[in-house]
């Protein structure tokens, strides 16, 4: 499915907008985990029980090389819902509370485009983007009008909201976005429920009760410790709590799919499962290393059973989801200007061709500027086949740590062990984690843990130059305001546009 020029809406409707083969109406269900990773049987984690994700994987194509374009909650959700990286859509950091980041007013998001084309839109769970005029949903139960714990973690409440959405459905096709708050940490906001809110709704005194949830607890000795997490008792206990929360989400996914099945629409619905960014552990969320950017991605199409249960090695991005959904509904890609005459072009690609046959896609890009408002650490990245290049624009500053992760048992234990001079059980040390080189180049085929920076190695000079060129082109194509940083200033009325600062960088 290639990019198409806009055609008249009347013609689209006359051709049968949003209908599948045989005249059935096409729908989309997008399920999003919050800080989720590869803790599921679908991704070969045998230590955790996730029967519903595993069952969905058997009806899906499973992408092994899927990546977010930004490893931060609001920016990743805005990018997913617009097809534009954070530096282009304006959601530079977290949306709510004092941070107040918003997408630009002229951005045309997926719910906006779908609504204009006659698709009914709904969101249940975590929204975390704004303004409302850019991200309008016909049916909305989010943290903006309800408790995030109730609409994002109470799987019984979420099930009933899905049922309500389906019962009030009219004859339009629908796009339903179910955004779990699991398995996000909650030690910073609701510590009484545990590090990952794993106790919320478990029936114990003061914890409330979620009728449809059967809590699963795990022995810390049994969890799989990823290479980027310290192998310590504190981190193992942290992972065990995370597993319990993932189990709640997994059971919730089963309930959501059962509601669609009961309403008779599951076999007309494209189901997508992914996460917004990496897990909240060291090198994970807020980083553009593999643990911060790599995502689970299951795409289940009722019209493509030939690829059910297959694994794709294609390199894909969450920026691809907007063009995928637009193609599923046969809606043209948007062409508009956010500022001046610079026309927005989606740089992602539709995933629908990958549902027909394996696609030889090899390159994805990343862009991060903030997380919390105090965490300015702009980074840009490109992953091309086995090579990952990260450009740290503020490389002379220490890498910032967010509040939520700071209070986590894993990081507090890492800090305490470092200060006390004790072994950390970690593959890095804090100094190397905080202070990074301007350019980081890794060959993941030989160095899957990304520990050997090859950027200064003359044997990789051609690879470095190739990736730098690819990255710069993408930045120019997406109107990146940081394209000349850190050693130049962008002056659009002059030539060359990047004017030197002579700042010794």
Active site residue 186: no
Cα angle 124, 125, 126 (rounded to 5 degrees) comes to 135
Among 287, 435, 443, 442, CA closest to 366: 287
First CA to last CA across the chain, in angstroms?
43
* CB-CB neighbours of 406 under 10 Å: 13
Question: How far from the centroid of its chain's Cα atoms is residue 27's Cα?
Answer: 21
Q: Which of 18, 19, 73, 197 is catalytic?
A: 73
Q: Which pair of structure tokens corresponds to residue 260?
A: 């669609």
CA distances in angstroms from 264 to 65, 258, 367, listed in the order given: 32, 10, 40
In the numeric block, the tokens 């973690």 are attached to 153
Q: Are strands 363-368 and 387-392 parallel, antiparallel or unpaired?
A: unpaired
Among 89, 129, 83, CA closest to 106: 89
How many CA within 13 A on the CB side of residue 222?
12
Distance between CA 485 and CA 375 in Å, rounded? Answer: 17
What letters, b where the CB count within 10 A reaches 16 and e where it falls short, cover 130-153? beeebbebbbbbbbeebebbbbbb
In the numeric block, the tokens 């995030």 are attached to 148
Find out whether the peptide bond into 496 is cis, omega within 30 degrees of 0.
Answer: yes
Catalytic residues: 73
């Amino acid at each position: 499915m290639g990019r198409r020029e806009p055609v008249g809406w009347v013609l689209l409707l006359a051709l049968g907008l949003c209908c599948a083969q045989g005249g059935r109406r096409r729908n989309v269900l997008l399920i999003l985990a919050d800080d989720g990773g590869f803790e599921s049987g679908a991704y070969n984690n045998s230590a955790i029980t996730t029967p519903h994700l595993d069952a969905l994987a058997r009806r899906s194509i499973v992408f092994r090389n899927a990546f977010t374009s930004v490893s931060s909650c609001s920016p990743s959700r805005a990018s997913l819902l617009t097809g534009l990286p954070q530096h282009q859509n304006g959601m530079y950091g977290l949306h709510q509370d004092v941070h107040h980041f918003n997408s630009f007013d002229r951005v045309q998001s997926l719910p906006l485009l779908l609504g204009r084309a006659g698709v009914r839109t709904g969101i249940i769970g975590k929204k975390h983007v704004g303004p409302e005029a850019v991200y309008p949903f016909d049916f909305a139960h989010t943290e903006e009008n309800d408790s995030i714990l109730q609409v994002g973690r109470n799987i019984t409440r979420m099930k009933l909201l899905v049922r309500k959405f389906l019962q009030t459905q009219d004859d339009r096709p629908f796009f339903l976005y179910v955004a779990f708050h699991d398995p996000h940490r909650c030690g910073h906001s609701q510590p009484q429920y545990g590090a990952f809110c794993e106790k919320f709704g478990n029936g114990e005194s003061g914890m409330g009760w979620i009728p449809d949830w059967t809590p699963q607890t795990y022995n810390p000795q049994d969890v799989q410790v990823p290479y980027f997490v310290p192998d310590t008792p504190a981190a193992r206990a942290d992972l065990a709590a995370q597993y319990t929360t993932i189990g709640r989400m997994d059971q919730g996914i089963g309930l959501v799919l059962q509601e669609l099945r009961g309403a008779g629409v599951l076999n007309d619905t494209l189901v997508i499962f992914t996460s917004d960014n990496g897990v909240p552990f060291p090198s994970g969320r807020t980083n553009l290393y593999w643990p911060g950017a790599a995502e689970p991605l299951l795409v289940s199409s009722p019209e493509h059973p030939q690829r059910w249960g297959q694994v794709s090695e294609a390199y894909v991005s969450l920026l691809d989801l907007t063009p995928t959904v637009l193609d599923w509904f046969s809606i043209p890609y948007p062409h508009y200007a956010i500022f001046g005459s610079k026309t927005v072009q989606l740089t992602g690609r539709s995933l629908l061709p990958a549902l027909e046959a394996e696609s030889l896609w090899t390159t994805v890009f990343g862009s991060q500027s903030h997380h919390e408002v105090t965490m300015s650490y702009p980074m840009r990245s490109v992953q091309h086949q086995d090579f990952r290049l990260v450009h740290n624009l503020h490389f002379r500053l220490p890498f910032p740590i967010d509040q939520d992760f700071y209070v986590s048992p894993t990081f507090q234990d890492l800090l305490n062990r470092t200060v006390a001079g004790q072994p950390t059980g970690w593959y890095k040390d804090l100094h190397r984690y905080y202070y990074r080189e301007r350019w980081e180049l890794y060959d993941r085929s030989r160095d899957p843990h990304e520990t050997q920076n090859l950027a200064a190695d003359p044997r990789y000079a051609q690879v470095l130059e190739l990736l730098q060129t690819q990255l710069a082109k993408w930045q120019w194509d997406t109107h990146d305001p940081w394209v000349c940083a850190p050693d130049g200033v962008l002056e659009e009325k002059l030539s060359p546009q990047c004017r030197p600062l002579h700042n010794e960088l």
